[in-house]
Amino acid sequence: MAAPYLRRLGWNWLNDRYILLNKSAFFADSIVAHTREWEAQRPAAPFFLLLNFMDAPAPYRASLLTDEFPGRLPAFPRTSDEQGGRALSIARYDRSIAYLDAELGKLFDFLRRRGLFDDSLIVVTSDHGENFDEDRPAAHGADLLQATVAVPLIIKSPRQREGSRPGRVGQLIDVLPTIRETLGIEPAPELFGSPLGRSPRAVIAENYFSALYGGYCRRI
């Protein structure tokens, strides 16, 4: 989503303006706690906040933190054969997502207590899914299957009271144009996508994994 800006402005511009954390070293509960601390000290002005959670992707470390939700989560398989190993990965993935879902709920509850939730524009999405088919070499990155390219996209507009679906297939490049339109900001010519509320258009998925790294890759 930020590629057009980063190509023009560079990473140094980003580093100068944002607090960067080593995302691989923090679980969601730490990021949510840091967000609460930051919000308590921020100036009384509109703000933009980007939270990058890394609890769902492999190696699914967050699954080890979810014993506090035994009623919601699948138990770990105890078999060690190939099918059991795949089932174990799926169980860990599901547990990691449940853990992240619970932490997002805590974050939204915090925003409600602070009187910020209703007036905020909130976007929840993912850059990829995970594929657990037996004949694939990787959970994501090497293919264009629906399991990896179909991701959740939830947008809560300020003071929104009812949910709706846009009636069209979207892409992540549509998120930033949708945010700009929702906030009444003029379209930016360097952006590739379009607001989700506009007419449907063709959606194309491309994969350069094979060209860049060699090896297995399927294109659709």
Residue 24: pLDDT band with limits 50, 70, 90: very low
Contact indicator for 141, 130 with CB cutoff of 8 Å: no
How does pLDDT run across 79-88, given as a tens digit for each residue?
Answer: 444 556 777 7
Which pLDDT score, from 0 to 100, does residue 44 have?
87
Domains in the chain, please, with CATH?
Answer: 3-213 (3.40.720.10)
Exposure of 82 in the CB half-sphere (CA atoms within 13 A): 4
pTM (2 d.p.):
0.77
